[in-house]
Amino acid sequence: MILVTGGAGFIGSNFILGWLGRTDEPVINLDLLTYAGNPANLAAVAAHPRYAFHRGDIGDQALVESVLQGGDVRAIVHFAAESHVDRSIHGPDAFVQTNVVGTFRLLEAARRHWQSLPAGRRDGFRFLHVSTDEVYGSLRPDAPPFRETDRYEPNSPYSASKAASDHLVRSYHHTYGLPVVTTNCSNNYGPYQFPEKLIPLCIHNALAGKPLPIYGDGRQIRDWLYVADHCTAIERVLADGRPGETYNIGGWNEQPNIDVVRSLCAILDEEQPRSGGGGYAEQITYVKDRPGHDRRYAIDARKIERELGWRPAETFATGIRKTIRWYLGHGDWVASVVSGGYREWVDRQYGQ
């Protein structure tokens, strides 16, 4: 079986749903259920005979070791992380604790588990660390996309904490021989994403008749990756990725933030027109840019295509429409996660 950390979050829950649908292998989900971890994401498989859930912190090494000892775990897929740049600016401590210290504790538990395995099974064990393209810093408009060999230049507490975790993972391979693989992905979007990130936030605000907040001039460029594509890429890396290697995962879909929101508004105009007339783009509002806002990210995903045969199945046009239709069809899920605490956060972050 495999152990997934942070499996109740956005990407982790999509991964588990896809894993149980495409494989016969059991999965253990270890998640602390912080604000962005939602058991409702996995309601469809809660009673699945090949799914088990443990609530707990990756920083609790004794707990992780007990989970590993209780099952025949042949791989760990490490999603658990604090992941929102804006939150890292307001409260960096949680990012250091989870992303750096938590990853260290998880690596220690994984190392002990791996060293306890019989020689034959030890060779097949994998620790797959899921990271971000933000560790590479910001690209100039004319610069080539990020490659796996690019220098790390993190510009936010979030990206710095993920860069630190990447280095820890690398060190455990070179020092102890732990068979690790790291993936660095571009901006994900799709079902079950907590509505603090750009796309679900704007879908929610548009339908609620609220402003659609755009930082600065809105020309910050991101490479957009549909979450289901990301999950299939992780499956490929877990199956055939080379220990000690890094694989960049991107969608080949560079879009400025303002164009993303305008596309989103145009699709909503088709799928669910405003009751009072007019278009959703009328709700776009520009707000003060956040400190140190990176202007451009882009992923060169040729290595994973060349070595493992993976390419994204979705274009941005197909992925964004699927995403919007999912949110339109899951209003109850959105309502359940939009708590008072969430509204307070949005007011503080985007208010005047």
Residues with catalytic roles = 133-134, 158
Q: Which helix (H) or strand (E) holds 304?
A: helix 302-308
Report in angstroms the alpha-carbon separations of 288 from 166, 212, 215.
31, 13, 6
Q: Beta strand pairing status for 221-226 and 254-256?
A: antiparallel
Q: Taking Cα atoms as reference points, which of 188, 180, 175 lies closest to residue 129?
A: 180
Phi, psi of 153 (to 5 degrees): -145, 60
Task: Name 149's Cβ contacts closer than 8 Å, sequence gap at least 6.
Answer: none
Report d(CA 342, CA 351) in Å as an integer: 13
Q: Return the number of other C-beta atoms located less than 10 Å from residue 148's C-beta.
A: 18
How many CA atoms lie less than 13 Å away from 271 in the CB half-sphere?
Answer: 19
Kindly state the DSSP code that residue 255 receives in the 8-state scheme. Answer: E
Report in angstroms the alpha-carbon separations of 184 from 187, 250, 258.
10, 8, 24
Report d(CA 332, CA 306) in Å as an integer: 42
Q: Taking Cα atoms as reference points, which of 269, 285, 268 lies closest to residue 203?
A: 268
Contacts 24+ apart (CB under 8 A), 86-90: 86/196, 86/290, 86/349, 87/158, 87/196, 87/345, 88/156, 88/157, 88/158, 88/161, 89/156, 89/157, 89/290, 89/291, 89/292, 90/348, 90/349
Report d(CA 234, CA 310) in Å as an integer: 10
Report d(CA 237, CA 310) in Å as an integer: 9
Length of the chain: 352
